[in-house]
Structure 1
Amino acid sequence: MISALAVTGYRSLRDVRLGLGALNVVTGANGSGKSSLYRALRLLADAAQGRVVASLAAEGGMGSAQWAGPKVLSRAMKRGDVPVQGQHGGGPVSLKLGFGGDDFGYAVDLGLPIVSASLFFRDPVIKAEAAWTGPRLKRSTAFARREGPGARLLSEGGAWRAVPSPLGPADSLMTHCADPRGAPELLDLRERMRAWRFYDHLRTDRDAPARRPQVGTYTPALASDGADLAAALQTVREIGDAFALDAAVEDAFPGAAVSVTDRDGLFDVGMRQPGLLRPLGVAELSEGTLRYLLLVAALLSPRPAPLTVLNEPEASLHPDLIAPLARLIGAAAERAQVVVVSHAAALVEALDALPGARRFTLEKRLGETVVEGEAALGWAWPER
């Protein structure tokens, strides 16, 4: 489980550090930085896929993604005694992402290359990287380090060995040094991060992928767009918790039941409701009903992700479905770690009332995202 999340220099997140638990609720007004925090988690996951540099480029590059204010805000600036001023960034461009866990931690520092004649001088590059055991990076806990083009790995005997080939500017320790023999801990960490799941684009419109029959195969994890809904629900029923599936549907739609039909290998979802003579096909379901079923399939996965992140799961849901959704999320958090990003007061309050839930309320002050009531969290970044 991730016990600490740290982000520096990313959009409005000048310096944010959170201590996470099993169930985490991130809320705040529009523009407070919720989406930035969500995207920062996605960028960390992209690092394990070797896509962090490409993902930053897709966001508009470092010039768009980096913190736009001064590196240091004085007390006078915060009080409003003097205007915000100073050099933008206040030093070398740096965007840092990291997390610490019960057993492993990882951090990456991204910047810009030394200016040259190349037209690609705005491409983000990896300046420093580290992986370690435990919640915090220390000299005694690191087992993999990257400094510029060079990388070092800790061997079984406790001696550091250099990686023979230099790493390219966009090459990550995760993709180029993870090895079952030479770096099994790094490989384990990478695979865990690759198993993180993000759900922020579960389409429910008329042309949504979930509304079309799909070839059915065992699906322990719902796709990010929900296209394999029928197969995911049937997988829960056959090798997961069928009772929990039926209970989640009953909780939201009393008297209703969901089934999956097979027509020449194509799976489709049917929902039987009281008073109807036939089940409704998935193409006939309302957007709110379909979204709830998608969340059921995601959260009742028979192979829970180490981390599941839901971005505004309440979208399209009727107020009567908020309480069943909160109970569904709470049950999922008993099996694995969950982060929910939402500005729906009813859902936030329902989740906040669950045992062990941690609530993070984001605010914007002088363009900077701050976390209300969050205590200082010790943290160390890898050195360039």
Structure 2
Amino acid sequence: MIQTVAVAGYRSLVDLVLPLGRLTVVTGANGTGKSSLYRALRLLAAGASGDAIGAIAEEGGLDSALWAGPETPAGAGAQGTVRRGPISLRLGVATDDLGYLVDYGLPQTEKLNIFARDAEIKREQIFAGTVARPATTLVDRTRAAVRVRRDGWIDADQRLAPFESILTDLGDGDAAPETLSVRRMLRAWRFYDHFRTDRDAPARHPRVGTRTQTLAHGGENLAAVWATIQDAGHGDALTREVARAFPGGRVEVAASGGLFRLLMHQPGLLRPLETTELSDGTLRYLLLCAALLPARPAPLLVLNEPESSLHPELLGPLGALINAAAGESQIIVVTHAERLATTLADAGAEVVRLESTGYGTRIKGQGVLDVPAWHWPAR
């Protein structure tokens, strides 16, 4: 299980170390850093697919992604100055067994180049346990050089380019088993943020269906995922959660000519409704059911404002759905809905309230002694 997530230098997350439980709810007022935390987690996961540099560029580059306040925050009203220290965006995660961290910066070059503002990787580490220390480091990368701990430190023959990561580009002969473990873990994380439910949304139309373990971010494979869950023998959970949210309702998957489509039966209707006929809120709830109760649960699910477009009466069932899913997956819920946060807290979730200060985003009530142990290595 993930114990800690750490972010430094990303937007308002100047220096945030977040402890995680089996189910963690992140809430707070607008502008307190909830969306930044969600995006930072996505950026961390993108590194395992080799997409992080591109993701930073799409955000406007490091200049846009970095904290915009003073280099050394000094409280409300403090004015920014010219940066004197190195540009640094740092992301990290620690589980019970392994941890990973990465430090992104800008190229140190005087040459004019079209890619001169691309982020590059300055440091990477994989470490044992929950804190990176010299004694616990297993794979250590400083700019192009990589070393791997076996009986002692062994320098890798391969030199990595600034845009290459130890997670994706380190040769098999040099890669430690821990590298593969971290890569698999990060690639298995699932993120869901504002499903499309408009008239032309992919989830509203029949699609070619095959066995599908994971709901796509756009929801286009909803019917195939639903059928896969049922085929794997886990359909009772779906039936239970649909009935909880829509008393008397049930869902079936119809197949014709290789195309799958979802049908919803509701009391009092003479025929089932096609997904094209469902309300935005109903379709969104069915998408959440498929995302949270897959046949093969993900190690981590991150939901960003899952309450969006739902009627307030569905927040109670949504809380029960999320709590049920937490029995199989670790879950982070980023939400504005106080009722949803309260419902999950009553079920045992850990609630983290973010607040915006002149020092960047802080966790409300987290004192110095409450911050989980974390160490960023020097460049």
Instruction: Name the TM-score class by shorter chain.
Output: over 0.9
| 1:21 aligned residue | 21
Residue 97 (structure 1) aligned with residue 122 (structure 2): no
**Would you say 1:219 and 2:212 are equivalent positions?**
yes
Matches within 5 A, 1:354-369: 354-355=347-348, 357-366=349-358, 368-369=360-361
SS in 2 for 1:173: coil
**1:230 pairs with one of 220, 223, 226:** 223
Deviation at 1:352, TM superposition (A): 1.4
* Corresponding residue number in structure 1 for 2:140: 145
Matched residue SS, 1:330: helix
The answer on 1:130 being equivalent to 2:122 is: no
Residues 236-247 of structure 1 aligned to structure 2 (within 5 Å): 236-247=229-240
Q: For residue 351 of structure 1, what is the amino acid of its counterpart?
A: L
SS in 2 for 1:176: coil
Give 1:118 shift.
2.3
CA shift, 1:367, in A, is 6.7
Q: CA RMSD in A?
A: 1.4
SS of alignment partner, residue 349 of structure 1 = helix
Query: Cα distance, 1:243 vs. partner?
Result: 1.0
**What is the match of residue 71 of structure 1?**
71
Query: In the alignment, what sits opposite 2:342?
Result: 349
- What does residue 113 of structure 1 align with? 107
Q: CA deviation at 1:351?
A: 1.0
Q: Distance in 2 between matches of 1:281 and 1:67?
A: 46
CA contact under 8 A between 2:156 and 2:174: conserved in structure 1? no
* Aligned-partner Cα distance in 1 for 2:173–2:239: 41
Q: How far did 1:159 drift?
A: 1.7
Per the alignment, in what secondary structure is the counterpart of residue 281 of structure 2? helix
Residue 326 of structure 2 aligns to which amino acid in structure 1?
A: A
Instruction: Return closer, same or farther for 1:88/1:70 CA change in 2, 3 Å cut-off.
Output: farther
Change in Cα spacing, 1:180 to 1:165, as seen in structure 2 (3 Å) is: closer
Structure 1 residues 20 and 178 mapped into 2: Cα distance closer, same or farther (>3 Å)? farther
Measured after TM superposition, the shift of residue 286 of structure 1 is 0.4
State the Cα distance separating 1:86 from its structure 2 match: 5.5
Structure 2 gap segments, 5+ residues each: none
Corresponding residue of 1:307: 300
**Residue 281 in structure 1 maps to residue 261 in structure 2:** no
**What are the ranges of 5 or more consecutive residues in structure 1 without an aligned counterpart?**
none
Q: CA deviation at 1:117?
A: 1.6
SS of residue in 1 equivalent to 2:223: helix
Alignment of 1:158-197 (within 5 A): 158-177=151-170, 179=172, 182-197=175-190
- Shift, 1:380, TM fit: 0.7
Contact 1:180–1:187 (8 Å) recurs in 2: no
1:323–1:88 CA distance, 2 compared to 1 (3 A) = farther
Distance, in Å, in 2 between the alignment partners of 1:69 and 1:86 is: 5
User: Is the contact between residue 194 and residue 308 of structure 2 (CA under 8 Å) also seen in structure 1?
Assistant: no
Q: Deviations over 1:171-222 (max 9, x none)?
A: 0010012648841111111011101000013111111110010111111111
Match of 1:154 in 2: 149
The equivalent residue for 1:382 is 377
Worse overlay, 175-184 or 234-243: 175-184
Aligned equivalent of 1:202, options 195, 204, 208? 195
| Distance in 2 between residues matched to 1:366 and 1:154, nearest whole Å | 41
- 1:336 shift after superposition: 1.4
Contact 1:179 1:187 in 2 (8 A): no
Structure 2 CA distance for partners of 1:296 and 1:162, relative to 1, 3 Å: same
Letter in 1 for 2:143: G
For 2:298 and 2:131, the matched residues in 1 are separated by 23
Contact 2:25 2:351 in 1 (8 A): yes
The SS at the match of 1:255 is: coil
TM-score (norm 1): 0.95
Residue 281 of structure 1: CA displacement?
0.6
